[in-house]
Amino acid sequence: MNRKGKGYIYIFTIILISLLALFFYFIYSYISNTSYINLNRVEKIQSKYVAESVLNIKISENNFNGELRNFIFSNEKYIKLNCEFKPSDTEVKNLELRRRDYSNKKGIDVDLVELNTDVKYKNSIAGAKIMANYINEIYKEEDGVLNSGKVNKDDLEKIKNSFNDNNWSKGEIKVLNLDGDFIYGTEKGKKFIFEEVEVYDENLREKVKKRSPLYLLDNVDVIVQKNGTLNIETDIRDQILLINNKVLFNDNAISGIIILNNNAEVFNNCKLEGYLINLYDKNSGINVKYKPKVFEKFGSVLPEYIKFQPNSLNYYDIEDNT
| pLDDT tens readout for residues 44-88 | 888 888 999 999 999 999 999 999 999 999 989 999 999 988 888
Do residues 248 and 270 lie in contact, with contact meaning Cβ atoms separated by under 8 Å?
Answer: no
Classify residue 157 by its DSSP letter: H
Q: Can you give the pTM of this predicted structure?
A: 0.81
To 5 degrees, how large is the angle CA 314–CA 320–CA 322?
A: 145
Contacts of 289 (CB under 8 A, 6+ apart): 144, 271, 272, 273, 274
Low-confidence ranges of the chain (pLDDT < 70): 1-40, 42, 320-322
Do residues 180 and 193 lie in contact, with contact meaning Cβ atoms separated by under 8 Å?
Answer: no
What is the predicted pLDDT for the residue at 59?
96
Diameter over CA atoms, the chain? 157
Do residues 237 and 256 lie in contact, with contact meaning Cβ atoms separated by under 8 Å?
Answer: yes
What is the predicted pLDDT for the residue at 35?
46
| Element holding 312 (H helix, E strand) | strand 306-317
What is the predicted pLDDT for the residue at 26?
59
| Element holding 31 (H helix, E strand) | helix 3-60
Closest of 53, 58, 45, 38 to residue 125, by C-alpha:
45
What is the predicted pLDDT for the residue at 36?
43
What is the predicted pLDDT for the residue at 170?
84
- Give the other-Cβ count within 10 Å of 1's Cβ: 7
What is the predicted pLDDT for the residue at 203?
76
What is the predicted pLDDT for the residue at 186?
94
* Distances 169 to 229, 240, 267, 303 between C-alpha atoms, Å: 22, 12, 28, 12
